[in-house]
């Protein structure tokens, strides 16, 4: 296996892109990444996406995007793992380069959600759950998270207010990210006052659905200097799965796939949670932030919300999370989100995070969660000049 | 809905109408829905069917205000994770009870209700929901 580096990144702002189609969004991110890396051709492109068939009536995304982006002929396929699609696509790109089979590879995540809003989109998202035993009962994706959150609050004697810190932190950081959908801070009072979506999940517990695309370009670490002086090394890449449905989990309050993929990643990188300088976790809902921090070893079981107390998750804290707004404020274009997390981690490690820069960031971790925890992908990145 | 989807729902009739699962021959774990490999011990678990009692209690619940396509007419409705008396958790709607009256630990029992319909000329899908257990004399 070869060491692999990231030599280019690109992204579109996250938002409601009424004027852009799926292919145009993908193209914009791809062109930006190619320009950043200074490459023209690539050996392969892996496209992370969840809902193109459901919402845009478009399958066969690999070939479509390769063709539209002027890369006709190269190897290209779509990778689907619900909301973890983009990190799963990135991992395929990593495997391609690490194995020696491919040299320059593009990982792209794209999602076009706003062409269909309301119940059809809700049904599309619910297809990440078990169709025969969860979705058939009219369970929306928000509802699944609400079921976990209510039991978590009951079991660990945590109140809704205790989750506020996650959203307040995400919005504070989103304010400094020009690509974020929401760029205004919120107060704890606003969090408490906001209406219920699916009790106990309130409006400000949930990330917004949106359109967007993000991309990264990978090459063997030993060749990275030919392209750039600020390549970022991929120290670990791990994907683990769990039961598709919550009711089949041994413990519905524990993200086993997060623990498994994080442990595997720590082992590959030869580090532990105490070495990680910032953590881009998957805050689709505040409950997922708590569960992710616990499973990845940053907090004890049932105490994930405690970390929000003394500013420990802020940019200056012990373990900064969602440093560019997270899913909550940057936005959550589901099948693209994993690559937004990775692109933002690269910006941090290059020292390009502007107002959101984590001082002396050396090791960054990203974690992308598919469904209610059935696919979880964890990556660890390192600044290359070390 | 296309007629081809009928087979998809028909295959599940023993589960939807009778809560039929399995008992693992290796670890004696009760399994719902049935699967070929036991989720408890990972051994092969093809067994004569086991019919659950339909009794259980609420493990967690929430209200759906923004339903997926096909469920609009019944919104808002309460969905729950129900812990069956024999062990496994199951996802289902609660019925015959207001959301404000539901609490964790509440005893419930299975009933058969309409799950969804596919428009005026489409199929109607029936299956299990859970209601508060009726008081026994
Ligand atoms: Zn067994």
Residue B40 has pLDDT above 90, yes or no: no
- Cβ contact, residue pair B62, A147, below 8 Å: yes
Bigger pLDDT: B89 vs B40:
B89
Asked if A287 contacts A156 with a C-beta cutoff of 8 angstroms, the reply is no
- Cβ contact, residue pair A138, B115, below 8 Å: yes
Distance from CA of A15 to the nearest CA of B (A): 21
pLDDT at residue A88 in the model: 98
Residue B2 has pLDDT above 60, yes or no: no
3-state secondary structure chain B: CCCHHHHHHHCCHHHHHHCEEEECCCCCCEECCCCCECCCCCCECCCCCEECCCEEEEEEEEEECCCCCCCHHHCCEEEEEEEECCCCEEEEEECCCCHHHCCCCCEEEEEEEEEEECCCCCCEEEEEEEEECCCCC
- Band the pLDDT of B136: cuts 50, 70, 90: low
Q: Which ipTM was obtained for this model?
A: 0.95
Mean pLDDT, chain A, integer: 96
Q: What is d(CA B39, CA B41) in angstroms, rounded to the nearest whole number?
A: 6
Pick from A273, A292, A275: which is nearest to A284 by CA? A292
- Band the pLDDT of B134: cuts 50, 70, 90: confident
Cα A236 versus chain centre, distance: 16
Nearest to B68 among A122, A147, A199 (CB): A122
Instruction: Name B61's bridge partners.
Output: B80
- Band the pLDDT of B46: cuts 50, 70, 90: confident
Q: What is d(CA B129, CA B137) in angstroms, rounded to the nearest whole number?
A: 23
In chain A, the percentage of residues whose pLDDT exceeds 70 is 100
Of the listed ranges A28-32, A124-128, A218-222, A328-332, the least confidently predicted one is: A124-128
- Give the ranges where A7-71 is alpha helix by DSSP (H): 22-37, 52-56, 61-68
Which of B9, B91, B100, B118 has the most A C-beta neighbours within 10 Å, making it the best mutation to test the interface with A?
B91
Closest residue of A to B33, CA-based? A133
pLDDT at residue B4 in the model: 59
Q: What is d(CA A160, CA A317) in angstroms, rounded to the nearest whole number?
A: 23
Asked if A334 contacts A111 with a C-beta cutoff of 8 angstroms, the reply is yes
Q: Tell me the catalytic residues of A.
A: 83, 332
Residue A241 has pLDDT above 80, yes or no: yes
Closest residue of B to A197, CA-based? B65
Residue B120 has pLDDT above 80, yes or no: no
pLDDT at residue B117 in the model: 83
- Band the pLDDT of B121: cuts 50, 70, 90: confident
Pick from A268, A318, A321: which is nearest to A291 by CA? A321
Q: What is d(CA A230, CA A5) in angstroms, rounded to the nearest whole number?
A: 10
- Cβ contact, residue pair B68, A138, below 8 Å: yes
Residue B100 has pLDDT above 70, yes or no: yes
- Whether the full predicted model's pTM is greater than 0.90, yes or no, is yes
Mean pLDDT, chain B, integer: 90
pLDDT at residue A117 in the model: 74
For residues A184-188, average pLDDT: 97
Asked if A321 contacts A327 with a C-beta cutoff of 8 angstroms, the reply is no
- Residue linked to tokens 């005893």: B107
Q: Say how many Å lie between the CA of residue B27 and the centre of ligand 1.
A: 4
All residues of chain A having their beta carbon less than 8 Å from the beta carbon of residue B59 are 151, 252
- Cβ contact, residue pair A133, B70, below 8 Å: no
For residues B104-114, average pLDDT: 97
Asked if B57 contacts B83 with a C-beta cutoff of 8 angstroms, the reply is yes
Cis peptide before A200 (omega within 30 of 0): yes
Residue B73 has pLDDT above 60, yes or no: yes
All residues of chain B having their beta carbon less than 8 Å from the beta carbon of residue A120 are 69
- Cβ contact, residue pair A140, B33, below 8 Å: no
pLDDT at residue B3 in the model: 58
pLDDT at residue B83 in the model: 98
Strand ordering across the sheet containing B20-23: B30-31, B20-23, B50-51
Tokens found for residue B1: 């809905």
Pick from A330, A384, A329, A338: which is nearest to A361 by CA? A384
Tokens found for residue A352: 């390009």
* A to B CB pairs, distance under 8 Å: 107
Nearest to B104 among A154, A243, A252 (CB): A154
pLDDT in tens, A338-360: 999 999 999 999 999 999 999 99
All residues of chain B having their beta carbon less than 8 Å from the beta carbon of residue A160 are none
Reported as type and span, the H/E element at residue A94 is: helix A85-98
| C-alpha distance from residue A366 to each of A87, A93, A219, A261 (Å) | 9, 16, 19, 11
Distance from CA of B64 to the nearest CA of A (A): 6
pLDDT in tens, A299-343: 999 999 999 998 999 999 999 999 999 999 999 999 999 999 999
Closest residue of A to B114, CA-based? A137
Q: Say how many Å lie between the CA of residue A292 and the centre of ligand 1.
A: 29
Nearest to A122 among B59, B66, B81 (CB): B66
Q: CA torsion, points A44, A342, A264, A281, in degrees to nearest 10? A: -140
Residue B118 has pLDDT above 90, yes or no: no
∠ CA B66-B72-B77, nearest 5°, is: 65
Closest residue of B to A141, CA-based? B68
Tell me if residue A123 falls in helix, strand or coil.
Answer: helix
Asked if A269 contacts A353 with a C-beta cutoff of 8 angstroms, the reply is no
For residues A4-12, average pLDDT: 98
Give buried/exposed letters for A162-185 (b at 16+ CB in 10 A, else e). Answer: bbbbbbbbbbbbbbbbebbbbbee
Which of B34, B56, B68 has the most A C-beta neighbours within 10 Å, making it the best mutation to test the interface with A?
B68
């Amino acid at each position: 296996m070869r060491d692999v580096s990231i030599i280019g990144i690109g992204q579109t702002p996250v938002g409601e892109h009424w004027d852009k189609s799926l292919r145009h969004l993908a193209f914009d991110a791809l062109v930006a990444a190619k320009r950043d890396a200074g490459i023209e051709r690539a050996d392969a492109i892996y496209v992370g996406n969840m809902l193109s068939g459901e919402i845009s009536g478009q399958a066969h995304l690999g070939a479509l995007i390769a063709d539209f982006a002027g890369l006709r002929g190269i190897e290209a396929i779509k990778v689907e793992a619900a909301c973890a699609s983009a990190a799963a696509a990135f991992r395929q790109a990593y495997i391609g380069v690490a194995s020696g089979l491919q040299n320059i590879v593009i990982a792209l995540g794209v999602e076009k959600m706003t062409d269909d809003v309301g119940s059809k989109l809700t049904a599309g998202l619910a297809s990440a759950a078990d169709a025969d035993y969860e979705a058939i009962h009219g369970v929306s994706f928000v509802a699944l998270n609400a079921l976990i959150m209510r039991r978590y609050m009951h079991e660990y004697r945590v109140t809704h207010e205790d989750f506020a810190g996650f959203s307040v932190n995400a919005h504070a950081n989103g304010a400094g990210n020009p690509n974020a959908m929401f760029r205004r801070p919120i107060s704890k009072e606003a969090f408490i006052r906001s209406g219920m979506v699916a009790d106990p999940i309130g409006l400000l517990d949930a990330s917004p659905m949106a359109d967007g695309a993000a991309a990264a370009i990978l090459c063997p670490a030993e060749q990275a200097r030919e392209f750039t002086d600020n390549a970022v090394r991929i120290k670990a890449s791990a994907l683990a799965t769990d039961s598709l449905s919550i009711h089949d989990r041994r413990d519905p309050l524990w993200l086993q796939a997060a623990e498994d993929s994080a442990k595997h990643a720590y082992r590959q990188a030869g580090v532990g949670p105490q070495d990680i300088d910032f953590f881009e976790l998957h805050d689709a809902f505040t409950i997922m932030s708590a569960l992710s921090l616990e499973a990845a070893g940053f907090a004890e079981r049932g105490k994930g919300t405690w970390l929000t107390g003394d500013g420990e998750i802020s940019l200056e804290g012990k373990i900064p999370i969602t440093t560019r707004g997270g899913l909550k404020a940057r936005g959550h274009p589901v099948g693209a989100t994993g690559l937004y997390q990775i692109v933002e981690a690269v910006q941090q490690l290059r020292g390009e995070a502007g107002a959101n820069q984590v001082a002396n960031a050396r090791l960054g971790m990203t974690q992308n969660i598919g469904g209610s925890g059935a696919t979880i992908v964890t990556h660890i990145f390192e600044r290359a000049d070390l | 809905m296309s007629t081809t989807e009928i087979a998809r729902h028909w295959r599940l009739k023993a589960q939807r109408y009778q809560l039929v699962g399995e008992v693992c021959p290796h670890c004696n774990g009760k399994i719902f829905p049935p699967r070929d490999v036991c989720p408890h011990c990972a051994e092969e678990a093809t067994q004569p069917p086991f019919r659950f009692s339909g009794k259980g209690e609420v493990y967690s619940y929430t209200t759906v205000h923004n339903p997926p396509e096909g469920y609009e007419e019944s919104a808002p409705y309460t969905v729950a994770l129900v812990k069956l008396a024999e062990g496994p958790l199951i996802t289902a709607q609660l019925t015959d009870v207001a959301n404000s009256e539901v609490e964790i630990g509440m005893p419930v029992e299975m009933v058969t209700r309409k799950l969804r319909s596919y428009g005026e000329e489409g199929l109607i899908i029936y299956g299990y929901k859970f209601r508060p257990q009726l008081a026994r004399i």
